[in-house]
């Protein structure tokens, strides 16, 4: 057949070393037939170099995991967990994770050896749900494939490919690993449409979506707790705090500090607050930056979800005359009111109006949280933007006023 000289050919491979020949034989036969129209199109439309391969990789991963996991790492390579030192917040199981890594390796290998224009990824469980990964020259090919294989997902894996963000699960020092483990798969499942949208529509998608598991009402944290820039020393009530019981007051302050910390250090685009204690089905998204596009995305992908917009002024900002915040002691005479306070000299997180309040709070429970709070400062780098450096310089002990 002289006409076949310039035709692309099919190259079948397995992304997963555990696949047997038997398992791929059937889908392989059918794919060869189904891909004929695409091969013909490519030959007729002169899109290909002579004898350029179409690479087909089989995998045990499900289509949606392929879709979110097949995006190729760029020069930067692997996720940056080692940098932040945070626990790996993957939204997939460990077995799936190692398969995703194997899949990426197989794609890179095929790209290096065969230099194809695109790779097809075939999930073995649902072999009719293909994903095309474009490695180069997709401008003409992309619309054509959309016409020839309208149900196949298409991904671009060139340097412009955005990596779908993963989840970074954090707790507010009270939940513990078992809570994170329990919530992670469900959060990952529910957030998946949004993560996919973010991967496709936002430039810097290497960052992770931070999920903060707290045991305090997120409505108080996210909406009612506002600290204005107070230069006047006047004390005033903070909505939602003064009417809390002692335990809830402490939990809210702890969760709030964790929240401030995460926003300040990680500067995430999106923060998800989950109150695991009362109702973890009920969670809130806090949009921290890049608002308009992200809000559109949330509206499109999770239409029933609530979100609120983080305002910078909700971080307690130091003013010329000191720090204004709530004293953390339950027995403070101005409990729940914003007033002039100083930081705990160890954790730089808890705040007190007097050494009496500090001593009381230490006995009441801060002794247990002080060093975890210190450790949870998320390893601020020396070059990191750090407004709180100014806050960190108070005298080593709180003076009685
Ligand atoms: Zn006090
Ligand atoms: Zn402390």
Residue 45: give the domain boundaries: 2-156
Helices (H), 202-280: 218-219, 246-266
Report CA(377)–ligand 1 centroid distance (Å): 24
**Ligand nearest to the backbone CA of 257:** 2
Residue among 358, 315, 314, 322 at smallest CA distance from 340: 322
In terms of domains, do 243 and 375 share one? Answer: yes
Final residue belonging to a domain, choices 103, 121, 156: 156
Report CA(238)–ligand 2 centroid distance (Å): 22
3-state secondary structure of 171: strand
Report CA(173)–ligand 1 centroid distance (Å): 23
Phi, psi of 45 (to 5 degrees): -90, 5
The pLDDT tens digits along the chain (401 residues) read: 444 456 778 888 888 888 888 888 888 888 888 888 888 888 777 665 667 788 899 998 888 777 766 654 433 333 433 333 223 344 556 777 778 878 888 888 888 788 888 888 888 888 878 888 877 766 777 777 777 777 777 665 543 445 677 888 888 776 677 888 888 888 888 888 888 788 777 766 567 899 998 888 887 776 555 555 555 544 455 556 777 888 888 888 888 888 888 888 888 889 999 988 876 778 889 888 878 888 888 988 888 888 888 776 566 666 677 788 889 999 999 888 888 899 999 888 899 999 999 999 999 989 988 888 887 765 543 333 333 333 333 333 444 43
- Residue 356's pLDDT is 95
Report CA(170)–ligand 1 centroid distance (Å): 29
In terms of domains, do 199 and 99 share one? Answer: no
In terms of domains, do 109 and 139 share one? Answer: yes
Q: How many domains does the chain have?
A: 2
Helices (H), 120-274: 138-148, 177-201, 218-219, 246-266
Under a CB-based contact definition with an 8 Å cutoff, are residues 358 and 338 in contact?
Answer: no
Under a CB-based contact definition with an 8 Å cutoff, are residues 350 and 374 in contact?
Answer: no
In terms of domains, do 247 and 338 share one? Answer: yes
In terms of domains, do 192 and 108 share one? Answer: no
Residue among 69, 134, 138 at smallest CA distance from 105: 69
In terms of domains, do 290 and 367 share one? Answer: yes
In terms of domains, do 309 and 180 share one? Answer: yes
Report CA(217)–ligand 1 centroid distance (Å): 23
User: How many Å apart are CA 180 and CA 91, to the nearest integer?
Assistant: 12
Which helix (DSSP H) or strand (DSSP E) does residue 287 occupy? strand 283-287
How large is the C-alpha radius of gyration of the chain?
Answer: 27
**Ligand nearest to the backbone CA of 360:** 1
By DSSP bridging, strand 351-352 and strand 283-287 are unpaired
Output the CA–CA distances (angstroms, integers) from residue 55 to 10, 110, 159, 169, in the order listed: 6, 7, 19, 36
- Residue 240's pLDDT is 64
Report CA(38)–ligand 1 centroid distance (Å): 73
Report CA(361)–ligand 2 centroid distance (Å): 9
Cβ-proximal residues to 128 (8 Å cutoff; 6+ apart), any chain: 151
Final residue belonging to a domain, choices 156, 183, 210: 156
User: How many Å apart are CA 246 and CA 221, to the nearest integer?
Assistant: 16
Report CA(247)–ligand 1 centroid distance (Å): 16
Helices (H), 52-93: 63-69, 81-84
- Residue 179's pLDDT is 82
Final residue belonging to a domain, choices 130, 156, 182: 156
Report CA(365)–ligand 1 centroid distance (Å): 15
């Amino acid at each position: 057949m002289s006409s076949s000289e310039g035709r692309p050919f099919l190259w079948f491979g397995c992304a997963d070393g555990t696949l047997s020949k038997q398992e791929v034989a059937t889908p392989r036969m059918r794919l060869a037939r189904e891909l004929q129209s695409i091969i013909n199109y490519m030959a007729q439309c002169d899109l290909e170099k002579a004898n350029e391969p179409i690479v087909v990789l089989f995998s045990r991963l499900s289509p949606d995991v392929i879709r979110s996991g097949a995006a190729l790492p760029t020069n930067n390579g692997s996720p940056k967990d080692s940098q932040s030192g945070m626990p790996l917040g993957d939204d997939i199981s460990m077995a799936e994770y190692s398969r995703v890594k194997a899949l990426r390796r197989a794609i890179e290998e095929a790209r290096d050896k065969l230099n194809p224009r695109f790779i097809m990824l075939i999930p073995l469980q649902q072999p009719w749900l293909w994903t095309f990964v474009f490695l180069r020259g997709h401008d003409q090919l992309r619309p054509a494939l959309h016409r020839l294989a309208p149900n196949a997902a298409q991904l671009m894996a060139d340097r412009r490919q955005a990596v779908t963000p993963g989840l970074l699960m954090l707790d507010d020092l009270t939940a513990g690993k078992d809570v994170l483990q329990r919530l992670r798969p469900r959060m990952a499942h529910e957030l998946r449409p949004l993560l996919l949208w973010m991967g496709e529509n936002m430039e810097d998608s290497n960052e992770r979506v931070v999920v903060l598991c707290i045991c305090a009402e997120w409505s108080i944290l996210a909406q009612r707790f506002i600290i204005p820039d107070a230069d006047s020393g006047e004390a005033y009530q903070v909505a939602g705090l003064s009417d809390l019981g002692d335990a809830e007051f402490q939990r809210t302050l702890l969760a709030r500090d964790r929240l401030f910390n995460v926003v300040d250090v990680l500067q995430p685009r999106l923060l998800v607050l989950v109150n695991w204690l009362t109702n973890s089905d009920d969670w809130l998204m806090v949009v921290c930056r890049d608002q308009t596009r992200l809000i559109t995305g949330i509206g499109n992908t999770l239409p029933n979800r609530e979100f609120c917009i983080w305002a910078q002024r909700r971080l307690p900002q130091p003013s010329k005359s000191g720090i204004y915040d709530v004293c953390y002691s339950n027995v403070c005479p101005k409990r729940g009111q914003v007033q002039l306070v100083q930081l705990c000299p160890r954790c730089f997180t808890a705040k007190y109006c007097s050494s009496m309040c500090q001593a009381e709070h230490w006995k009441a429970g801060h002794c247990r949280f002080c060093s975890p709070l210190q450790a949870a400062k998320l390893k601020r780098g020396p070059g990191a933007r750090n407004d709180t450096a100014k806050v960190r310089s108070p005298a080593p002990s709180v003076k009685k006023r």
